[in-house]
C-alpha cells in the first residue's frame, strides 16, 4: 500500500527589523573638526590663575607693541575658565562672569543652560539677544545687569573702562576670528566674551605714584596699589583683557577693535541659518539683538 505525503510550503521569513531611529543632522565636517580642535587643545592645558599673572606674560611677549612714550597701567580681576560644549559661548561667558558676583552664586553651567531654555532665550545654547542676556544674568547671578546700547565707543567706552577698573565684568558680543580675536564678518561668526580687566595707555605724568606701584619686570608698566583708587584720566590707548569659551587663556584686545567688531554684527551665518536647526533670534535679527550692545554686571548690587 502506498502512502502520499503532502509537504507544506516553508514559512515566510521573519520581517526585517525596523530601521534605526533617525539621528539629528550631523555637524558639518569643518565645525566638528574645529570643535574637537579647541576642546582637545584645552584638555592638554591648565589655566593660569591670578589677577595679573597671565596678563603680565602676555605683555612681556608683546613688549614691543606698546608705545614707550606713554605710561601704562594694568587692572584685572581673574575669572575662571570654562570650555564651551556646542554653541554655548554666551552662556559660558555668563557663567565665568558670575564667579565675580558678591556673594558668589552657587550655580553650575547646567543650571544656566536650563534656565535659558526654560525662559525661551535659547534653543541650542545660542544667545542672539543682549537684552535676554541681561535678563538671564539678573536671574542666575542675582545681581544687577545693565544693558549698554548705542555702540562701544564714546561715552559707552568710558562707562566700560570705569566698570572694568572697578573690578566688574562686561559681557560683549563680537565676531570671532580663527584665533578668537575680534574680526568683521557681518555677524557670521558672532561670539561672546567676558572682559574682566583693562590696560590703559596714558599721557606721561597722569599716574600718581601714591596709588600705583611699578612692575618688577616691565619698567613701563604700573599696577594699582590701592583697590579703591579712581580710574586715571589722560587716556590715549585702551585694551581689554577677555576670556571666551574656546580657550582657557586670557586675550588682550584693543577696545577699538572690539567696538568695531561689535558694531557690525548684522546677520547670522547663512550656512547656520539654513542648516535646519532651530535658533532663538529676536525680532529684527542679529543686528537688533547684538549690534552696538554689551551687558555690564554690577556684581556687588543684588537684584530685589
pLDDT tier for residue 70 given thresholds of 50, 70 and 90:
very high
Nearest by Cα to 91 from 190, 168, 193, 221? 193
pLDDT tier for residue 38 given thresholds of 50, 70 and 90:
low
Distances (CA, A) of 155 to 148, 152, 173, 182, 241: 11, 8, 18, 21, 20
Q: What is the pLDDT of residues 131-168, one digit of tens each?
A: 999 999 999 998 999 999 999 999 999 999 999 999 99
Q: What percent of the chain has pLDDT over 90?
A: 72
**pLDDT at position 73 over 70:** yes
| Mean pLDDT, rounded, for 208-236 | 88
Is 5 one of the catalytic residues? no
**pLDDT at position 291 over 80:** yes
- CA pair distance 10, 224, nearest whole angstrom: 91
Neighbour count for residue 249 (Cβ, 10 Å): 16
Which has more confidence, 10 or 49? 49
The model carries a pTM of: 0.85
| Mean pLDDT, rounded, for 235-243 | 97
Mean pLDDT check: name the lowest of 31-40, 76-85, 243-252, 254-263.
31-40
Q: Which of the residues 89, 101, 143, 183 is marked catalytic?
A: 89
**pLDDT at position 205 over 50:** yes
Mean pLDDT check: name the lowest of 6-15, 78-87, 259-268.
6-15
What pLDDT, on the 0 to 100 scale, is given for residue 208? Answer: 81
- CA pair distance 210, 214, nearest whole angstrom: 11
Q: How many CA atoms lie within 13 A of 143 on its CB side?
A: 23
**pLDDT at position 238 over 60:** yes
pLDDT tier for residue 209 given thresholds of 50, 70 and 90:
confident
pLDDT tier for residue 21 given thresholds of 50, 70 and 90:
very low
Average per-residue pLDDT for the chain: 87
Which has more confidence, 108 or 105? 108
pLDDT tier for residue 4 given thresholds of 50, 70 and 90:
very low
pLDDT tier for residue 27 given thresholds of 50, 70 and 90:
very low
Q: What is the pLDDT of residues 45-65, one digit of tens each?
A: 667 788 999 999 999 999 999
**pLDDT at position 41 over 60:** no
Question: What's the residue count for the chain?
Answer: 304
188 secondary structure, DSSP code? T
**pLDDT at position 95 over 80:** yes
What pLDDT, on the 0 to 100 scale, is given for residue 303? Answer: 66
Q: In this structure, are residues 205 and 168 in contact, taking their beta carbons and an 8 Å threshold? A: no
What pLDDT, on the 0 to 100 scale, is given for residue 15? Answer: 62
What pLDDT, on the 0 to 100 scale, is given for residue 81? Answer: 95
Amino acid at each position: 500500500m502506498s502512502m502520499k505525503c503532502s509537504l507544506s510550503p516553508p514559512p515566510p521569513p521573519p520581517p526585517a527589523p525596523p530601521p534605526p531611529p533617525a539621528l539629528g543632522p550631523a555637524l558639518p565636517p569643518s565645525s566638528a573638526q574645529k570643535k574637537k580642535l579647541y576642546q582637545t587643545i584645552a584638555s592638554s592645558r591648565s589655566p593660569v590663575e591670578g589677577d595679573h599673572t597671565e596678563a603680565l606674560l602676555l605683555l612681556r611677549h608683546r613688549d614691543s607693541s606698546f608705545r614707550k612714550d606713554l605710561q601704562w597701567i594694568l587692572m584685572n580681576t581673574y575669572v575662571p575658565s570654562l570650555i564651551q560644549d556646542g554653541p554655548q559661548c554666551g552662556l559660558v561667558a555668563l557663567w565665568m562672569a558670575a564667579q565675580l558676583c558678591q556673594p558668589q552664586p552657587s550655580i553650575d553651567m547646567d543650571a544656566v543652560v536650563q534656565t535659558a531654555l526654560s525662559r525661551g532665550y535659547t534653543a541650542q545654547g545660542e544667545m542672539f539677544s543682549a537684552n535676554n542676556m541681561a535678563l538671564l544674568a539678573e536671574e542666575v547671578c542675582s545681581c544687577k545687569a545693565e544693558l549698554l546700547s548705542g555702540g562701544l565707543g564714546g561715552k559707552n567706552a568710558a562707562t566700560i573702562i570705569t566698570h572694568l577698573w572697578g573690578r566688574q565684568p562686561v559681557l560683549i558680543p563680537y565676531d570671532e576670528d580663527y584665533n578668537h580675536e575680534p574680526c568683521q564678518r557681518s555677524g557670521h561668526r558672532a561670539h561672546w566674551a567676558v572682559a574682566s580687566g583693562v590696560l590703559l595707555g596714558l599721557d606721561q605724568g597722569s599716574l600718581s605714584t601714591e596709588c600705583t606701584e611699578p612692575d618688577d619686570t616691565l619698567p613701563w608698566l604700573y599696577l594699582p596699589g590701592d583697590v579703591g583708587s579712581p580710574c586715571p584720566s589722560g587716556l590715549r590707548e585702551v585694551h581689554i583683557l577677555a576670556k571666551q569659551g574656546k580657550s582657557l587663556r586670557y586675550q588682550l584686545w584693543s577696545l577699538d577693535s572690539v567696538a568695531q567688531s561689535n558694531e557690525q554684527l548684522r546677520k547670522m551665518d547663512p550656512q547656520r541659518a539654513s542648516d535646519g536647526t532651530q535658533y532663538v533670534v529676536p525680532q529684527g535679527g542679529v543686528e537688533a539683538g547684538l549690534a552696538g550692545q554689551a551687558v555690564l554686571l554690577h556684581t556687588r548690587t543684588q537684584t530685589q
